[in-house]
Amino acid sequence: MRKAKLARRLGVAVAAVTAVALTLTGCNATGGGGTSADGVTDLKMIMQPGPEADAMSKVTAAYNKGPGVKDKIHVDVTQLSRADSFAKEATLMSTKSSNYDFYQTASYYIAQHAQYLEPLKLDASEYYTSSLDSLKVDGKQYGLPLDPSVHVIFYRTDLIKQMLQDKTTFEKISKEVLGKALEPKDPSTWDWDDYIASAAYFTQQYNPASPTKYGTELQAKNLVYNAMVWDDVLYNLGGSWLNSSGKPDLTSSQAEQAVNVYRTIYTKGMTSPDSDQAEFPETQAALSSGNAAFAVQWDAGYAQLNSASQSPKTAGKIGITRVPGAKHLSHVHTLAVGINKYGKHLPQARTFVAYLDSVPAMKTYVAAGGLASMPAALADQSSPDISALQGILKDGTYAEPNLPRAFDIYTALANDLSGAWVGQGSTTSALQKANADLAKLSGK
């Protein structure tokens, strides 16, 4: 009897293993694109999830049904989680993988990606020049510009209107917080002192009658994207990464002032104490829950904040304006698509890029929810955020130095400064460390 039981158990085990193995072999995916029986070449593209991937999927769907039939090309968009996409692409690239035919790249990463991408021939006249230039390495174009990202101030129009009529309280509070009496101003004319004073006005700790708990939500988490946001403060105060002779300039008085803007806002309680861990989603939540009155935020946040089904408290009451400062300049970076130099279907990849490199294709992309770095493609969009974007792209941006290790520099800035932003350690020593790291990473 025991023998039978043993045999039966073994039999079950073997059957189970066989079943699993059979189903698994059926799940094999071929690497990279392939050529199917009828001569159609399959191309694979990586995109980050969200509006970009959704829009690109619609573009590729239109292509596959349209010109793709004639070209015998079928393009598939694979999504890759935002958090890990560049780590994974780094792995793929360094092993010279041919799995994907197109990579997603960005202006802050292009210098590292360039040697794994094929130079592109684009119709330069159609794009914003700055977008094209930000994707060039050694004069060659390695990325086709897609979604530009800039910063804006989102503010509650109803609350700001109240503030503009409340001069006396505002002056009292600005004196308390900044030591000088300021008048309430429209956000489009703010400098950073106005920003701080207005944040204090909307903070219940200073203004018990404030409709919001805090004035703003600082994005102070240790992230490269938050270093990009902080750069706005630096550059709008007249500072920069490198001085006029090309040497690291992060120990300048403007840099110190820029860190102290963040430090003041955090340590004086004008933002939630949890904003030391805040980035894009937290700032969205602060505005949509009505706990903050305004914030510097990525322009991509407009759709959610203005939607009645996602943010009923702010829908229809969200104003957009440029970042505070004398010249109201914003950081800009551009997402892009590049051709994998080690892909197995380069001629077909070039054909598809040629299709993308056109106003109609980009218009489809924009209509499907993406953004383009192409004036003509954005032209017939009239929503406030795209209008703002167009204006900013035209004359409202600055550019950090185009260094090969730009991504590492942002990482180092976030590592070195995010403590000082929230009152940990001294501003001076944090900036000295950042400056030393910048020197090492820029080779200067």
Binders of another protein among residues 387 to 406 (CB under 8 A) are 404-405
To another protein, the closest distance from the beta carbon of 155 in angstroms equals 17
Structure tokens at 222: 């240790």
User: Which positions from 167 through 226 interact with another protein, judged by CB under 8 A?
Assistant: 220-223
What does the buried/exposed string (b/e) look like for 194-231 if buried means 16 or more CB atoms within 10 Å of the residue's CB?
bbbbbbbbbbeebbeebebbbbbbbbbbbbbbbbbbbb
Place of tokens 């990325």: 143
Is 303 one of the binding residues for another protein (CB under 8 A)? yes
- Interaction mask 113-152, another protein, x per CB under 8 A: x-xx--------------------------------x---
To another protein, the closest distance from the beta carbon of 231 in angstroms equals 17
- Per CB under 8 A, the list member of 83, 208, 382, 443 interacting with another protein is 83
Is 411 one of the binding residues for another protein (CB under 8 A)? yes
To another protein, the closest distance from the beta carbon of 148 in angstroms equals 12
- Per CB under 8 A, the list member of 301, 324, 338, 343 interacting with another protein is 301
The answer to whether 301 and 318 are in contact (CB under 8 A) is no
- Per CB under 8 A, the list member of 200, 286, 339, 431 interacting with another protein is 286
Is 332 one of the binding residues for another protein (CB under 8 A)? no
Rounded CA gap, 188 and 311, in Å? 24
Is 241 one of the binding residues for another protein (CB under 8 A)? no
To another protein, the closest distance from the beta carbon of 82 in angstroms equals 6
Structure tokens at 70: 């004639």
Is 340 one of the binding residues for another protein (CB under 8 A)? no
The alpha carbon of 235 is separated from its chain's Cα centroid by a whole number of angstroms, namely 18
Residues 6 or more apart whose Cβ sits within 8 Å of residue 45:
56, 60, 75, 76, 77, 78, 100, 101, 102, 104, 337
CB atoms within 10 A of CB 25: 8
Is 300 one of the binding residues for another protein (CB under 8 A)? yes
Q: Which is nearer to another protein, 122 or 146 (CB)?
A: 146
For 194, phi then psi, to 5°, come to: -60, -40
Is 289 one of the binding residues for another protein (CB under 8 A)? yes
Helices 253-267, 192-201: axis angle to 10 degrees equals: 10
- Per CB under 8 A, the list member of 38, 39, 70, 94 interacting with another protein is 94
Rounded CA gap, 169 and 138, in Å? 55
To another protein, the closest distance from the beta carbon of 433 in angstroms equals 9
User: Which positions from 261 through 280 interact with another protein, judged by CB under 8 A?
Assistant: 272-277, 280
Is 5 one of the binding residues for another protein (CB under 8 A)? yes
User: 436 vs 191, 232, 260, 325, CA distance in Å?
Assistant: 29, 21, 19, 27
Segment interacting with another protein, rule: CB under 8 A, options 71-79, 161-169, 203-211, 253-261: 71-79
* Among 276, 254, 264, 266, residue whose Cα is nearest residue 435: 254
User: Which positions from 10 through 39 interact with another protein, judged by CB under 8 A?
Assistant: 10, 16-17, 20, 23-25, 27-29, 31
The answer to whether 301 and 280 are in contact (CB under 8 A) is yes
Rounded CA gap, 270 and 253, in Å? 23
Is 381 one of the binding residues for another protein (CB under 8 A)? no
Q: Which is nearer to another protein, 23 or 244 (CB)?
A: 23
Q: Which is nearer to another protein, 220 or 392 (CB)?
A: 220
User: Which positions from 345 through 374 interact with another protein, judged by CB under 8 A?
Assistant: none
Structure tokens at 195: 């920003």
Sign of torsion over alpha carbons 285, 291, 294, 296: negative
To another protein, the closest distance from the beta carbon of 21 in angstroms equals 8
Q: Which is nearer to another protein, 18 or 35 (CB)?
A: 18
Segment interacting with another protein, rule: CB under 8 A, options 35-43, 97-105, 117-125, 196-204: 97-105
Q: Which is nearer to another protein, 61 or 164 (CB)?
A: 61
- Per CB under 8 A, the list member of 52, 126, 194, 256 interacting with another protein is 52
To another protein, the closest distance from the beta carbon of 194 in angstroms equals 24
* Residues binding another protein: number (CB under 8 A): 100
Name the region of 246 (left: φ>0; alpha: ψ -120 to 50; beta: rest).
left
**Three-state SS at 82:** coil
Segment interacting with another protein, rule: CB under 8 A, options 60-68, 107-115, 177-185, 188-196: 107-115
To another protein, the closest distance from the beta carbon of 242 in angstroms equals 19
Is 67 one of the binding residues for another protein (CB under 8 A)? no
294-298 and 144-156 beta bridge pairing: antiparallel
Rounded CA gap, 94 and 205, in Å? 52
* Among 333, 322, 225, 323, residue whose Cα is nearest residue 278: 225
* Among 346, 350, 375, 351, residue whose Cα is nearest residue 363: 375
